[in-house]
Amino acid sequence: MTMGRRLIEDDSDGDGETVQTGVRNRRHSSENHPTDYNIPVTSIDEDMEPAFNVNHRSKEASQYESLDYDVCENVLWRRDQTKIEPKFTVKKDFSRWVISLQIGVFTALVACCINIVIEEVSRVKYGFLKRQVDVNVIRGDLSIPYLWWSLLNLGPVVIGATLVAYVEPVAAGSGIPQVKCYLNGVKVPRIVRIKTLAVKAVGVATSVIGGLAGGKEGPMIHSGAVIAAGISQGKSTTFRRDLKILKHFRDDHEKRDFVVSGAAAGVAAAFGAPIGGTLFSLEEAASFWNQSLIWRTFFASIISSFTLNIILSAYHGLSSFRYRGLFNLGEFAPLPFEYFELPIFMLMGVFGGCTGAVWNALNSRLNKFRSHAIKPRWAKVLEAAFVAVLGATFACIMAYTINDCKPLGNDPTEHPVQLFCQDNEYNAAAALWFQTPEATVKALFHDPPGSHKILTLAVFVIIYYPLSCITYGLSVSLGIFIPTLLIGAAWGRLTASFMVLAFPASSAFVAPGKYALIGAAAQLGGVVRMTLSLSVIILETTGNIGFILPIMLTLMCAKWCGDYFNEGIYDTQIKSSRVPMLPWHVEPEYQQLSARHIMARPVVCVRVEEKVQYLLDILKNTTHNGFPVIEDGDDGSRVNGRLIGLILRSQLVVILKRSFYQESSRFWESTVSIEAFREEYPRYPAVDELHVNEDKCSGDFSVNMSMFMNPSPYSVEEGTSVPRLFQLFRALGLRHLMVVSSENRVRGIITRKDFLKHH
């Protein structure tokens, strides 16, 4: 296409309306359908002080588009609605519940598979290493177990890192920030594809088996989201299969609702916390809730934790449901606490908030450096391999040098290593490393007092804190719940030991497990900064409701303290990846502005009846995703027309692909159906892939928008304050908001990026 010439416009009369100057490209013009088209690209506007150095559609942001949460109630949609019977509505609602059920079941199944693989392989791995240590410590050569250990870490991690780096980079990390963005209304590319799920599942299993400082809980949430998106659509583009069912759920609105349930089901499976899961989804996506969605989400969560419970209980040969979640902190005996302990807990919360904030700051700087320094894929794999060996190295150094011998039989560790200890004793320092991080957390919560030396714990914290910080951000699938809990539990237990040392009388009530739990909560609160959902998750995971008050106070303190310094790790990640996620409130510097200050302008508009050639031009020469549809302006041009609708790029592409256009007056309206649009969802072809007949481009063919466009797009007057329109934008999850004059003439357009120019 070479026809789309850009015209320079000048607002010479200074009234804010763009008047075209320059050459108009007239070809094939006719009386009825004037084809003079122009794509306004820039304008100089005298009467408006630019509030900012406006730089629309910056490169970083442009890879992220918004979801279309707003239902386009065009003529096709209405026609489709009138066709459906009342029975269909009931059926549709019923399918929603059935899908929620499936989401719960499949999320649990995936969780079980990952869990069983990790458990079995880890058992073999650490059993083998223990035997190696036992054999070689007698020979006096400890380098052989070290090498074995390094190798056993290296192998799985390299597999996982290669998968993530070469096959699906979006599967890296915990996936929670990405899910959070998706729920906020940002289309993160490839986030809910089956391929991503596969890489994530294999990746998380290999990373945990490889002994990296990470957990499988975050990835479970992401898995739940993918499963939900997949099940609700009844088709997979990866597998090129279309089950021809559930077509009515093929839009962003319905899909996102299911993803909410999927994420909740993921949490429910990961922690055995159905309420916590529902709350997690809620705390992150509260602006798009309604009661029936809450209930369906809750249902999916229940089903998920129930299914997991049955499968894992059966697998472990338990007669009744004991296996509540993948991660179980273990039932605590009732934890009594005294009045005067509350200030201590709050101080621990403050400490956790501070160390969490430092962790976040370090991690984000590290990842910034990493994104510049480590760009090739092989380098990413190499880095992960290095960290895997580093873990084994630290573990060996600690195990070999710290002589923390405890009698056998007290500690529930599965692979007690004797090392240099007496017979009937085991090395407690080695025990911290000779199992998955998850098992170590449990040990720190439940080991009897005096199971660990102060030195052991102190060294462990000092090693694990930076290690986990380095690990999160590698090109592997891993969550941070477990390592964070582990650090917190370790320093919490340390606190208890110090207290008993300082005030021997306090040993009566200072249970180390209690302090480990508080420490873990404080550290986790300091890093992720969730309060309500986190309280509930911890509550459900520990099964100790009497202890909820101290945990809530600790989390509150951790959050307040951490928020003083920086944001939670997920928000930090989102900010640094420049995803245009809408915050809860508009930023302070926007408070005093109005729509006209932030809107993008001039706007590329289309008329109700528009030439195919013009449409192709605007699709190819702009990156806009929505085009206001206008009545012809008073002078018959495309500026200054009254807003009557909105048409999306994706709709135009489908219209052109399917040749839904007319020659002169002939129009085969009856053949057009909303199905055509549903079939292309969600991967609409790019405009370059369209093969439009040259004849039709150059001829009198035109598209009548009236049946495709959204006939009532949301619009605001140009004087509307930004906080006000932000509220509208956020509450309705909009993608485009039209700005109009008091006469309803299009003045500008606002998308989510316009609220975030400063980033």
Among residues 41, 48, 71, 455, which is the contact residue for a second copy, using CB under 8 A?
Answer: 71
Window 579 to 608, contacts with a second copy (CB under 8 A): 584-585, 588, 591-592
Q: What phi and psi, each to the nearest 5 degrees, are found at residue 703?
A: -105, 135
Name which of 42 and 592 has its Cβ closer to a second copy.
592
Name which of 81 and 371 has its Cβ closer to a second copy.
81
Residue 728 sits in the site that holds a second copy (CB under 8 A): yes
Determine the Cα angle at 219 with ends 215 and 225, to 5°: 155
Determine the residue type at 434. Answer: F
Window 13 to 32, contacts with a second copy (CB under 8 A): none
Window 403 to 422, contacts with a second copy (CB under 8 A): none
CB of 306 to a second copy, least distance (A): 6
> Which range of residues in 177-185, 190-198, 527-535, 607-615 is near a second copy by CB under 8 A?
527-535
Window 121 to 180, contacts with a second copy (CB under 8 A): none
Name which of 348 and 716 has its Cβ closer to a second copy.
716
**C-alpha to C-alpha distance for 15 and 638, rounded to whole angstroms:** 17
SS3 434: coil
> Which range of residues in 139-147, 318-326, 354-362, 675-683 is near a second copy by CB under 8 A?
318-326
Among residues 45, 540, 610, 617, which is the contact residue for a second copy, using CB under 8 A?
Answer: 540
> Which range of residues in 111-119, 241-249, 540-548, 700-708 is near a second copy by CB under 8 A?
540-548
Residue 505 sits in the site that holds a second copy (CB under 8 A): no
Residue 531 sits in the site that holds a second copy (CB under 8 A): yes
Which are the contacts of 338, defined by CB distance < 8 A and separation ≥ 6?
Answer: 509
Site string for a second copy, 733-752 (x = CB under 8 A): -------x-xxx--------
Compute and round to an integer the Cα radius of gyration of the chain.
30
CB of 229 to a second copy, least distance (A): 23
Q: Give the helix/strand (H/E) hosting 40.
A: strand 39-45
Name which of 689 and 743 has its Cβ closer to a second copy.
743
CB of 330 to a second copy, least distance (A): 12
Residue 306 sits in the site that holds a second copy (CB under 8 A): yes
Per-residue tokens: 338: 């005294």
Residue 107 sits in the site that holds a second copy (CB under 8 A): no
Name which of 557 and 653 has its Cβ closer to a second copy.
557
Q: How many CB atoms lie within 10 A of CB 336?
A: 11
Residue 73 sits in the site that holds a second copy (CB under 8 A): yes
| DSSP track, 375-402 | -SHHHHHHHHHHHHHHHHHHHHHHHHH-
Residue 332 sits in the site that holds a second copy (CB under 8 A): no
CB of 14 to a second copy, least distance (A): 22
Window 639 to 668, contacts with a second copy (CB under 8 A): 642-644
Among residues 53, 82, 143, 665, which is the contact residue for a second copy, using CB under 8 A?
Answer: 82
Secondary structure tally for the chain: helices H, strands E: 25, 18
Residue 112 sits in the site that holds a second copy (CB under 8 A): no
Determine the residue type at 214. Answer: G
CB of 298 to a second copy, least distance (A): 5
Residue 732 sits in the site that holds a second copy (CB under 8 A): yes
Nearest CA to 280 out of 532, 108, 583 is that of 532
Residue 275 sits in the site that holds a second copy (CB under 8 A): yes
**C-alpha to C-alpha distance for 301 and 268, rounded to whole angstroms:** 5
CB 650 within 8 A of CB 676: no
Residue 543 sits in the site that holds a second copy (CB under 8 A): yes
| DSSP track, 224-275 | HHHHHHHHHHTEETTTTEE-S--GGG-SHHHHHHHHHHHHHHHHHHHHS-HH
CB 562 within 8 A of CB 526: yes
Residue 544 sits in the site that holds a second copy (CB under 8 A): yes
Among residues 16, 679, 727, 759, which is the contact residue for a second copy, using CB under 8 A?
Answer: 727
Half-sphere exposure for 228 (CA within 13 Å, toward CB): 34
| Cis preceding linkage at 580, omega within 30 | no
Among residues 32, 292, 371, 693, which is the contact residue for a second copy, using CB under 8 A?
Answer: 292
Determine the residue type at 30. Answer: S
Nearest CA to 214 out of 6, 482, 20 is that of 482
CB of 317 to a second copy, least distance (A): 14
**C-alpha to C-alpha distance for 627 and 428, rounded to whole angstroms:** 66
Among residues 553, 599, 608, 746, which is the contact residue for a second copy, using CB under 8 A?
Answer: 553
**C-alpha to C-alpha distance for 266 and 342, rounded to whole angstroms:** 33
Which are the contacts of 413, defined by CB distance < 8 A and separation ≥ 6?
Answer: 426, 431, 434, 435, 439, 443
**C-alpha to C-alpha distance for 172 and 471, rounded to whole angstroms:** 11
CB of 720 to a second copy, least distance (A): 4
Question: How far is residue 300 CA from its own chain's centroid?
Answer: 19
**C-alpha to C-alpha distance for 602 and 638, rounded to whole angstroms:** 11
**C-alpha to C-alpha distance for 642 and 747, rounded to whole angstroms:** 10
Residue 552 sits in the site that holds a second copy (CB under 8 A): yes
Window 555 to 574, contacts with a second copy (CB under 8 A): 556, 559
Q: Give the helix/strand (H/E) hosting 630.
A: strand 626-630
CB of 297 to a second copy, least distance (A): 9
Among residues 134, 338, 669, 675, which is the contact residue for a second copy, using CB under 8 A?
Answer: 338
Name which of 604 and 644 has its Cβ closer to a second copy.
644
> Which range of residues in 82-90, 240-248, 370-378, 600-608 is near a second copy by CB under 8 A?
82-90
> Which range of residues in 33-41, 275-283, 468-476, 498-506 is near a second copy by CB under 8 A?
275-283
CB of 711 to a second copy, least distance (A): 6
Nearest CA to 524 out of 387, 671, 349 is that of 349
Among residues 124, 135, 286, 501, which is the contact residue for a second copy, using CB under 8 A?
Answer: 286
CB of 173 to a second copy, least distance (A): 22
Per-residue tokens: 634: 């008073």
Question: How far is residue 30 CA from its own chain's centroid?
Answer: 51
CB of 156 to a second copy, least distance (A): 34
Q: How many CB atoms lie within 10 A of CB 30?
A: 11
List Cα–Cα distances, 200 to 111, 191, 226, 514, 588, in angstroms. Answer: 12, 11, 10, 34, 38
Q: What does DSSP say about strands 39-45 and 65-66: parallel, antiparallel, or unpaired?
A: unpaired
Question: How far is residue 610 CA from its own chain's centroid?
Answer: 39
Among residues 354, 397, 548, 676, which is the contact residue for a second copy, using CB under 8 A?
Answer: 548
Residue 721 sits in the site that holds a second copy (CB under 8 A): yes
CB of 146 to a second copy, least distance (A): 42
CB of 744 to a second copy, least distance (A): 5
Residue 265 sits in the site that holds a second copy (CB under 8 A): no
Q: How many residues bind a second copy (CB under 8 A)?
A: 79
CB of 102 to a second copy, least distance (A): 16
**C-alpha to C-alpha distance for 312 and 543, rounded to whole angstroms:** 18
Residue 89 sits in the site that holds a second copy (CB under 8 A): yes
CB of 588 to a second copy, least distance (A): 7
Name which of 313 and 621 has its Cβ closer to a second copy.
313
Q: What does DSSP say about strands 746-750 and 737-740: parallel, antiparallel, or unpaired?
A: antiparallel
Among residues 143, 320, 401, 670, which is the contact residue for a second copy, using CB under 8 A?
Answer: 320
Residue 283 sits in the site that holds a second copy (CB under 8 A): yes
Phi-psi region of 175 (alpha: psi -120 to 50; beta: other; left: phi over 0): left
Residue 264 sits in the site that holds a second copy (CB under 8 A): no
Window 678 to 717, contacts with a second copy (CB under 8 A): 711-712, 714, 716-717
Q: Give the helix/strand (H/E) hosting 350.
A: helix 341-373
Determine the Cα angle at 691 with ends 687 and 696, to 5°: 105
